[in-house]
Structure 1
Amino acid sequence: MSGISVQKLNKNFGAKKVLEDIYFEVENGEVVAILGPSGCGKTTLLKCILGLEKSDSGEIFVGSTRLTEWLKDNRIAYVPQKYANFNYLTVAQNILAALNGQELNLDSLVESSLKNVGLDKFKTSYPGQLSGGMQQRLALARALASGAGIIAFDEPFSSLDVETRQQMQELILESRSDNKKTMLFVTHDIEEAIFLARKIVVMGTKPGVVREIIDVPFNYPRPSSLRFDEEFQKIRRALSFIVRSEGIKGKLSEGEPIVGRSHKIGLYYWPGNSPFFYAQERGWFENDLLPVEFISFSDNRQKIDFWKSGKIDILNVTIDTALRLKKEIPDTEIIMGLNISRGGDALISRDPISSVKEIKNKRVALEKDEISEFFLRYVLYKNGMNLEDVIVADMKGDEIGAALISGRVDAAVLWEPWLSKTLELSRAHVVATSRDFSVFADVLVARKSFAEENKEEIQKIKMIWQKSVDAYYLNKQDFTRAVAPAVGLSARDLASQLELIEFFDGGTKRVLEIGGEIKDMMR
């Protein structure tokens, strides 16, 4: 039996892109977990590998043979989320059905198959007479007995209690030590992925992409106590951050704007934009006959490129970026002041760094040419240093936290919604925060020509923004409960993050004053 190679796989359902350029390798006898939030395409990917779904482009090979050819003479055993047993057959007969066509001592093989999963005392029982855990053990025994060299699991233990789930995980590893079958395991359970797999394919959302491939460093056999190992927990924390980040991105509209007559507003991930989402949830834009489309970007440079190319009309940036754009494109105009960070941005680090001076010559993760770079420049400037005093690791905002948690960098500049979770999972501490520097403000910009042609619509956006901000200060609990599902956060997390932000009324006077304060540093 050879390994599996997935090469640039793409899959659409109608106009919706579900999988994009999926690429990874599974070595012969390897256990690989496919991990990601709900809706990222894990099950669709597995069905493509099983031959149950046809991809639109790309290839899947088993060894050097295309999957479609290989499946003509071979099979992949499949253990789905729902029990895949024949309810009208006894436990023993279920195993016999899986052994169909094998020229072996069938009675002996049935006995050993059931003994391996602890069901040898239930040979004459029917699946409906077994507990959920026992039914999944039977499904596993059928897959192992089938003779297939590859077994695919699709979240088979999600409905089981914690103790039974862990028993099943240990049972899989025990069976692996006996037969060295290649196993693909789709799951949303992070600990399960780490405990079972040699390699974890982490998927992102909208469309489903391979976000990262993580090698798990533990040898087999793996004792149950491994779950308490510090390195295990370190990997768990990093994966928790990545999966949470992808879950947030999955809730918000990201990517290409929809072609249409609506005003397209490009946002970045930041709880300070919550008033827009509250107004959207309440239907206020529709009530004012104001068609708007909010497109959120995890890559702020892509957002700016979209605005420059005319794909979006209005751009959400920080005041420093707005000033830079005005210098680059004189037609740029600041049309609204939105908010100012009062602790929602920070420079954080791991021990033993405890002051700004101590990050000299350290590796600091940030997003170049965006607020995180400006934040660091400003903090260094205030401490008599400059950016050349540190080693910059350039990455997107939702990648920065994972880099700090996993120890790939010494410090990081982050903002909410990534900041608080990184502090929680990395055991890092705050070195400097925007609470101490009142210059990190958000604005909306547009081209002057657009602003002139759409004065009435921009005024409506300002009025709706102010109405939404008033609603927040009037009833914060109602506001956060309404917005939290839309932005992929719990109401509690969103509430604590919003406390780190001061909202403006949409006017530009305050942000222009802040712009004047930072001009000297930006020269």
Structure 2
Amino acid sequence: MKKIIFFAVLLTIVSISSLFTYRYVMNLNQEQIRISTNPWVGFTPFIYAQEKGWLEKTPFRFIWLVDLTENSRMYEREFTQGFTATQYELMHFKEHSHIKPVFLIDRSVGADVILSNRSLNELRNTHDPITVYLERGSLHDDILKAFIKENALEHQALILKNSSQQSMALIEPASTPIIALSYAPYVSNLTKRGLVAIASTATMKSFIIVDALYMDERFVTGREDEYRKLKTIFNRALEQLSTDPHEYYQTIHGYLEGQSYDEFMATTQQIEWLNHGSNEAIARQLETQHISTDRLLP
């Protein structure tokens, strides 16, 4: 199994040093364009392209993370110039006036999941506080808010616990009600621990999640052709997923947190790829959320 190299990055802000551990992919230099990402199913074409060496003659280098909020930390410290994320991650940034989507990747239609050890009806009628595990300061805050409203859970007492996906995988069976917010490839770890999906982006009516490559536009101006080449590489990797899914999985499986081939292939059916065709409706949706789309590649 391919092992992702872990390294420590020492960041100093106002004389306060913090040590963060990141999954690093390649040696970086000042001329390279650094993009943070994670093993979300929609971003795996970047993993495949990287493993095949297709990115070596491009300026793009990917840094593999786990926690959703790490994108903002890396960007705000000027360690990266862009990231792959949903529109909600961007909306949680303190300052994002220069950040714009360069190309759309996918729409989640089931791969973002809310799990519990209770049924929805049991959650509505419980008299016990509900412990909610989620990544605070990320789109999980937004998903939870929409989920509570759609399922009439406003009256319930919630205990919110900020938790990474890796720590959620250690949740023990409990006699009290639990909710966990997760996404592929981490959902399978939670189902193995007895939690059951009670809602997802396939069932929620009021919540649309769109993943895209977001970049600081100051690193796009004058380099548009390089981003077009990156999109072509992405599409080439995606074609390989369709042509030979077993070979694709074998190439990327070291990044998938133990996901089996069948589990991975199931998650590919829980997103809608947005790499081809017109996405005018999606672009309008982003504009209504005050995300400028004037940098989107055709």
Q: Same fold (TM over 0.5)?
A: yes
Structure-1 residue corresponding to 2:247? 478
Deviations 1:411-459, CA, capped at 9 Å, x for gaps:
111111111221122x121111111236122112112211214212111
1:11-90 pair list within 5 angstroms: none
Does structure 2 retain, via aligned residues, the 8 Å contact 1:401–1:414? no
| Structure of greater relative contact order (alpha carbons < 8 Å, 6+ residues apart) | 2
Does structure 2 retain, via aligned residues, the 8 Å contact 1:356–1:380? no
Structure-2 residue corresponding to 1:274? 44
Structure-2 residue corresponding to 1:498? 268
Cα–Cα, structure 1 residues 269 and 356, in superposed 2: closer, same or farther, change >3 Å?
farther
CA RMSD of aligned residues (A): 3.5
Give the letter aligned to residue 448 of structure 1.
E
Does structure 1 retain, via aligned residues, the 8 Å contact 2:35–2:60? yes
Give the letter aligned to residue 133 of structure 2.
A
Does structure 2 retain, via aligned residues, the 8 Å contact 1:404–1:410? no
Structure-1 residue corresponding to 2:107? 340
Give percent identity, aligned residues only. 16
1:242-391 pair list within 5 angstroms: 253-254=23-24, 258-286=28-56, 289-325=57-93, 328-351=95-118, 354=121, 357-358=124-125, 361-384=129-152, 390-391=158-159
CA distance in 2, matches of 1:349, 1:39: 31
Deviations 1:152-189, CA, capped at 9 Å, x for gaps:
xxxxxxxxxxxxxxxxxxxxxxxxxxxxxxxxxxxxxx
Asked if residue 464 in structure 1 is aligned to residue 233 in structure 2, the reply is yes
CA distance in 2, matches of 1:262, 1:375: 34
CA distance in 1, matches of 2:189, 2:269: 16
Q: How far apart are residue 366 of structure 1 and its match?
A: 0.3
Does structure 1 retain, via aligned residues, the 8 Å contact 2:101–2:212? yes
Q: State which of 270, 284, 288 in structure 2 corresponds to 1:513.
A: 284
Give the letter aligned to residue 264 of structure 1.
R
Does structure 2 retain, via aligned residues, the 8 Å contact 1:362–1:411? yes
Q: Which runs of 5+ in 2 are unaligned?
A: 9-20, 291-298
Q: State which of 169, 179, 190 in structure 2 corresponds to 1:422.
A: 190
Deviations 1:469-498, CA, capped at 9 Å, x for gaps:
222223323322322235454433322332
Does structure 2 retain, via aligned residues, the 8 Å contact 1:350–1:428? yes
Give the letter aligned to residue 428 of structure 1.
L
Structure-2 residue corresponding to 1:138? none
1:177-256 pair list within 5 angstroms: 206=6, 253-254=23-24
Q: How far apart are residue 350 of structure 1 and its match?
A: 0.8
Does structure 2 retain, via aligned residues, the 8 Å contact 1:263–1:292? yes
Q: Which runs of 5+ in 1 are unaligned?
A: 1-36, 41-204, 209-249
Cα–Cα, structure 1 residues 39 and 463, in superposed 2: closer, same or farther, change >3 Å?
closer
Q: How far apart are residue 356 of structure 1 and its match?
A: 6.0
Q: TM-score, normalised by structure 2?
A: 0.77
Does structure 2 retain, via aligned residues, the 8 Å contact 1:257–1:295? no
Deviations 1:72-104, CA, capped at 9 Å, x for gaps:
xxxxxxxxxxxxxxxxxxxxxxxxxxxxxxxxx
CA distance in 2, matches of 1:499, 1:399: 26
Give the letter aligned to residue 480 of structure 1.
Y
Q: How far apart are residue 516 of structure 1 and its match?
A: 5.3
How many equivalent residue pairs? Answer: 273
Q: Secondary structure at the match of 1:206?
A: strand
Deviations 1:98-135, CA, capped at 9 Å, x for gaps:
xxxxxxxxxxxxxxxxxxxxxxxxxxxxxxxxxxxxxx
The structure with more helix, counted as a fraction of residues: 1
Structure-2 residue corresponding to 1:413? 181
Structure-1 residue corresponding to 2:161? 393
CA distance in 2, matches of 1:448, 1:406: 47
Give the letter aligned to residue 112 of structure 2.
D
Q: How far apart are residue 292 of structure 1 and its match?
A: 2.2
CA distance in 2, matches of 1:465, 1:510: 22
Cα–Cα, structure 1 residues 429 and 39, in superposed 2: closer, same or farther, change >3 Å?
closer
Give the letter aligned to residue 371 of structure 1.
L
Q: How far apart are residue 275 of structure 1 and its match?
A: 0.7
Q: Secondary structure at the match of 2:137?
A: coil
Structure-1 residue corresponding to 2:17? none
Q: Decide which structure has the larger Cα Rg and report it.
A: 1
1:123-134 pair list within 5 angstroms: none
Q: TM-score, normalised by structure 1?
A: 0.46
Give the letter aligned to residue 243 of structure 2.
L
Structure-2 residue corresponding to 1:443? 212
Structure-2 residue corresponding to 1:454? 223
Give the letter aligned to residue 117 of structure 2.
R
Give the letter aligned to residue 278 of structure 1.
Y
Give the letter aligned to residue 496 of structure 1.
A
CA distance in 2, matches of 1:291, 1:363: 44
CA distance in 2, matches of 1:454, 1:447: 12
Deviations 1:378-419, CA, capped at 9 Å, x for gaps:
222323555985221111222123235567871111111111
Structure-1 residue corresponding to 2:13? none
Does structure 2 retain, via aligned residues, the 8 Å contact 1:347–1:431? yes
Q: Secondary structure at the match of 1:253?
A: strand
CA distance in 2, matches of 1:415, 1:517: 25
Does structure 2 retain, via aligned residues, the 8 Å contact 1:341–1:434? yes
